[in-house]
Amino acid sequence: MHELWSSASYAPHRLSLPFAFAPAAMLIVIAYAVVMRGEPRLRGWLLAHCLSLLPYAVTMTLSPSISSGRAAETIFRVGAAFIPMAAATGTGFQIALVGQDRKYRVVVWTGVAVAVAWIIAGIFTDTAVAGVRYLPELKLWYATAGQWAWLALLTTFATSIPGFTVLARQALRAPPSDTRRQQRHVLFANAITYGGLVDVAFAYGHGLFPVGWLLSGFGSLLVVRALVVEDLLRVRAVDTAAPRLVLLYAAGVVVAWLALSALGSRTEIAWWGTTATLVLSFIGVRIAIAVIALVNRGARHEGPLDRLLAQLVGRARTLATEGEVARLALDIVELGLGVRPEILLAAAEDWGWTTAGGERIADERAPDPLIAGWLAEQRGALFANELDPATPDDLRDLVGGLFALHGARGLVPVTSHDELLGVLMIPTSAPRIRGRSLEFLERAASRLAEAIVHARMAQQAARGAALAREVELAATVQRELLPGRAPQRVGDVTIVGSWQPATRCAGDFWGVYPLGGGRVLVAIGDVTGHGVASAMVTAAAVGACDVAVRRSGPDLDLAALMAALDAAVWRVGGGTLSMTAAATILDPAAGELRFASCGHSTPYLCRAIPGTREVELQALVARGNLLGSGAAPVAKVVQRPLHAGDLVVWYTDGVVEAPDPRGDAFGDRRLQRLLRKLDSAHLAPVAVHDRVHAAVTAHRAGRARVDDETLVIAQIAEPGAIGGQA
């Protein structure tokens, strides 16, 4: 082994120059694969394949320049030992190229394991190479076949067959495409490279001149062409990590050599001194690189493409719609790459798709919903001839169909948090987009996604603000339409009422309408639901009451009033909203009240029992169906006597249905008990109103209202009362 590294074992010869063609071509492939960041599996298998071929190529290059037989035997053993590994890794590369490496995983790794065994046996035993002989007519050394060389050759062929079979079947039978052309180039290059095994005949004493080096070199050049022209590794960017690592170790070796040379010229260096010098040299180089990187960290390396992206971000902030943002992004991409892609925007409210101009895309041209989730998970551009082999066949067909429908060679998903916002379609007329151009396109898609999300949020905020303004306006209008909290006096009748909405806009209303002659109409209603729609219905009901009172005046008929309310609720609610209502005409002079109810909560008449402080409670029951339901209202008008001092209580269901913390409602019975316990000497409307309201509030125990609460109290003045009993 010492002779292998001894300069006396070598004498440079001109014949080594043509043999150097093969390792030079392989080194080009290796350097490209190391520097360029592409498909990881293809990159790994190609590197392993070329590194396994390199020992034999270097052996043939050195063969004419070796002057020692022992050195020649050692180097031939190493070169021959790696040939089965070259076959195994070549098979791995071929199968990965057609995307079936998972299917043939066991076959590939079995071949690699066998090749490892041959490396160990070939280097340390004479199973493959028994020795070497000098060929004076050729002026070079060549190996002599060992006892098991035939088995190593057979293993090489057996390991190669699966890869060639799979690649040939795909390259020869697949429909015409860029992928098939690429596979054919690789198949041709590998076939030429494997033709170098013809030199095995020299190991058995046959052959005229070794040509394996020529075939291997030529095959490597074809691989170089496939790498550069056909984009064999599907390069995305330049990998700077590997070159930096090589630079680090190269600089470390140079510094260590200079340091050892300087120290060795003065004195002998112990082994530990040499070790320390090597370690310190590498540490010094690493520190120097780190310091340089630290100094340059703040430096800006902004190019034209970076400035275009900055424009996209800055100008997108002022745009309000997704279409405007998309058109800006298309302009930016066209300025940067010289090609204008097509953009498909996913609608936020459904599965529809639109163009940047807002035009609806036909369903057959839009991305299928089945691939929307898959596209949302992709990171980076996808090209028609480079789909992930792991993609299911049904999705592969759908994506391929999308490419064909839009005449695109590639697409870039526009995603945000695994949500597909759009798709940038790269037209077939566009030049090959790689390296910085591809990085710019992917970054533009990322900035576009952020801008679309910002535009959507701005639109939602604007809609929310507009809705808030509408709700506030509706609530203001509703408050203005309803009476205030202050007691109202109409003749001998005093009315006190309150309206407590559960939300900004309520579905309850009440009103007081003088009819002349001391008569007064009290109306109360409850529209289903809450919000702006319910508030509009209540506004319509209030308006209908106003119109009915103005038209009929003292001759107002309660049945006609209910019919007018029904028409108003039906017209505004459209049949989706209905209303309960109760209307009562109080006539103190005639000593009577007339009332009608359409599904509303039953009012109560409270009357003092003469000679006692107790109160008699009467339910004012009337029948009628809901208003606005589409059926004609059947409101029966009921008449009851009315005495001085009588008190009438109206309310909506929000009062009796108010829940406590356990969910139990306040209830009709609790309200009835409360009214019966009133002191007949203190039936003032304000006091009664406040007592009922306080009882309901205490029952809720701080919980928010689940429904609107409206409470109205009216009382007929006692004879001689001044200003009513407030």
Tell me: do 192 and 208 sit in the same domain.
yes
Q: If DSSP codes are grouped into helix, strand and coil, which group holds residue 691?
A: helix
> Could you give the CA distance from residue 378 to residue 577 in angstroms, rounded to a whole number?
48
> Could you give the CA distance from residue 388 to residue 377 in angstroms, rounded to a whole number?
13
Tell me: do 451 and 371 sit in the same domain.
yes
According to DSSP, the residues that pair with 617 across neighbouring strands are: 606
* CATH label of the domain that carries residue 234: 1.20.1070
> Could you give the CA distance from residue 458 to residue 449 in angstroms, rounded to a whole number?
14
Q: What is the pLDDT of residues 255-278, one digit of tens each?
A: 777 777 776 654 566 667 777 877
Q: Report residue 497: phi and psi, to 5°.
A: -145, 160
DSSP 129: E
Tell me: do 290 and 309 sit in the same domain.
no
Tell me: do 314 and 268 sit in the same domain.
no
Query: Which amino acid, residue 584?
Result: T
Whether 246 is in a domain gets the answer no
**pLDDT at residue 583 in the model:** 94
> Could you give the CA distance from residue 624 to residue 635 in angstroms, rounded to a whole number?
5
> Could you give the CA distance from residue 163 to residue 313 in angstroms, rounded to a whole number?
48
Contacts 24+ apart (CB under 8 A), 548-557: 549/513, 549/515, 549/521, 553/515, 553/516, 554/515, 554/516, 554/517, 554/519, 556/515, 556/521, 556/585, 557/637
Whether 468 is in a domain gets the answer no
Tell me: do 259 and 337 sit in the same domain.
no
**For residues 141 and 71, is the Cβ–Cβ distance under 8 A?**
no
Nearest to 493 by CA among 521, 528, 524, 473: 521
Give the CA-trace dihedral at 591, 593, 594, 595, to 10 degrees: -170
Going through 20-113 in order, the beta strands assigned E by DSSP cover 36-37
Tell me: do 79 and 211 sit in the same domain.
yes
* CATH label of the domain that carries residue 453: 3.30.450.40
Query: Which amino acid, residue 64?
Result: P
> Could you give the CA distance from residue 485 to residue 647 in angstroms, rounded to a whole number?
18
**Helix and strand element counts for the chain (H, E):** 22, 20
**pLDDT at residue 725 in the model:** 44
> Could you give the CA distance from residue 72 to residue 132 in angstroms, rounded to a whole number?
7
Whether 726 is in a domain gets the answer no
| Number of domains composing the chain | 4
**pLDDT at residue 479 in the model:** 63
- Give one DSSP letter per residue of 436-459, joined into a string: HHHHHHHHHHHHHHHHHHHHHHHH
Kindly list the distances between the CA atom of residue 473 and the CA atoms of 246, 251, 468, 478, 505, in Å, as whole numbers in the listed order: 72, 76, 8, 9, 9
Tell me: do 360 and 423 sit in the same domain.
yes
> Could you give the CA distance from residue 330 to residue 444 in angstroms, rounded to a whole number?
9
Residue in the structure block whose two tokens are 């590998």: 190
* CATH label of the domain that carries residue 614: 3.60.40.10
> Could you give the CA distance from residue 427 to residue 63 in angstroms, rounded to a whole number?
53
Going through 450-500 in order, the beta strands assigned E by DSSP cover 488-490, 493-500
Tell me: do 142 and 177 sit in the same domain.
yes
Tell me the pTM: 0.47
Annotate 42-74 with b (16+ C-beta within 10 A) or e (fewer). bbebbbbbbbbbbbbbbbbbbbbbbebebbbbb
Q: If DSSP codes are grouped into helix, strand and coil, which group holds residue 254?
A: helix
**For residues 207 and 199, is the Cβ–Cβ distance under 8 A?**
yes
Q: Report residue 323: phi and psi, to 5°.
A: -60, -45
Single out the residue in 459, 494, 514 at which a domain terminates.
459
Residue in the structure block whose two tokens are 């203005």: 480
Whether 517 is in a domain gets the answer yes
Q: Report residue 714: phi and psi, to 5°.
A: -130, 145
329's CB contacts (< 8 A; 6+ apart) are 312, 316, 343, 444, 447, 448, 451
722's CB contacts (< 8 A; 6+ apart) are none
Q: If DSSP codes are grouped into helix, strand and coil, which group holds residue 621?
A: coil
**pLDDT at residue 5 in the model:** 53
Whether 466 is in a domain gets the answer no
**Which stretches of the chain drop beneath a pLDDT of 50?**
266, 299, 721-726
Whether 337 is in a domain gets the answer yes
Q: If DSSP codes are grouped into helix, strand and coil, which group holds residue 490?
A: strand
Question: What is the domain extent for residue 47?
Answer: 2-239
> Could you give the CA distance from residue 234 to residue 43 in angstroms, rounded to a whole number?
9
Beta strand 519-527 pairing with 579-587: antiparallel
Tell me: do 145 and 105 sit in the same domain.
yes
Element (H, E) at 630: none
Q: Is the dihedral of CA 91, 92, 94, 95 positive or negative?
A: positive
Q: Report residue 601: phi and psi, to 5°.
A: -60, 140
152's CB contacts (< 8 A; 6+ apart) are 80, 83, 84, 118, 122, 127, 128
Cβ–Cβ contacts within 10 Å for residue 471, how many?
Answer: 16
Whether 465 is in a domain gets the answer no
User: And the tokens for 703?
Assistant: 């919980």
Element (H, E) at 284: helix 271-296
Whether 271 is in a domain gets the answer yes
Tell me: do 19 and 80 sit in the same domain.
yes
Q: Inter-axis angle of helices 178-194 and 212-228, to 10 degrees?
A: 160
Tell me: do 91 and 118 sit in the same domain.
yes
Tell me: do 627 and 704 sit in the same domain.
yes
**pLDDT at residue 243 in the model:** 58
